[in-house]
Amino acid sequence: MIMENFIAYFSTIPSSHRAALLAGGIALFWLFESAAPFIRFTYSKWQHAGINLFFTGTTILVNFALAFVLLRTADYSVQHEIGLLNLLPEMPSWLFLLVGLLGLDFFGAYLAHFVEHRWYPLWRFHLIHHTDTYLDTTSGNRHHPGESVIRFAFTCIGVLIVGCPMWLVFLYQSLSVVMTQFNHANIGLPKKIDRWMSYILVSPDMHKVHHHYQLPYTDSNYGNIFSLWDRILGTYRHLDREQIVYGIDTHQDPNEHNRLSNLLQIPFQPLRKPTHKPE
pLDDT at 247 over 70: yes
Amino acid at 53: L
> Does residue 146 lie in a domain region?
yes
What is the rounded end-to-end Cα distance, in angstroms, of the chain? 53
Q: Is residue 6 part of a domain?
A: no
Per-residue pLDDT, averaged over 126-138, amounts to 93
The whole-number pLDDT of residue 161 equals 95
The pLDDT of residue 2? 72
Q: If pLDDT is split at 50, 70 and 90, which confidence band does 277 have? A: very low
Instruction: Give the tens place of pLDDT for each residue, 64-120.
Output: 899 899 989 999 998 988 889 988 888 888 899 999 999 999 999 999 999 999 999
Residue 17 lies in a domain: no
Asked if residue 260 has pLDDT above 50, the reply is yes
Over 50: is that where the pLDDT of 50 sits? yes
- Domain tally, the chain: 1
Kindly indicate the confidence band of residue 274, based on its pLDDT and cuts at 50, 70 and 90. low
At residue 56 the predicted structure's pLDDT band, cuts being 50, 70 and 90, is very high
What distance in Å separates the CA atoms of residue 59 and residue 53, rounded to the nearest whole number? 10
Domain membership of residue 98 (yes or no) is: yes
Q: What gap in Å lies between CA 214 and CA 203, rounded to an integer?
A: 20
* Residue-averaged pLDDT of the chain: 89
Inside any domain, residue 144 = yes
Closest CA to 171 of 116, 96, 115, 87: 96
What is the tens place of the pLDDT at every residue in 172-227? 999 999 999 999 999 989 999 999 999 999 999 999 999 999 989 999 999 999 99
Alpha-carbon span 96 to 6, nearest angstrom: 13
Mean pLDDT for the stretch of residues 7-12: 77
Cis upstream peptide for 216 (omega within 30°): yes
Average pLDDT over residues 233-255: 90
Weakest mean pLDDT among 37-46, 191-200, 236-245: 37-46
So what's the pLDDT on residue 113?
A: 97
| Residue 271 domain-assigned (yes or no) | no
In which domain, by residue range, is 87 found?
43-264
219 in a structural domain: yes
Q: How far apart are CA 169 and CA 189, in angstroms?
A: 29
Q: Is residue 5 part of a domain?
A: no
pTM score of the predicted model: 0.91
**Contact in structure between 233 and 180 (CB atoms under 8 Å):** no
Q: If you average pLDDT over residues 121-150, what whole number do you get?
A: 93
Residue 276 predicted with pLDDT over 60: no
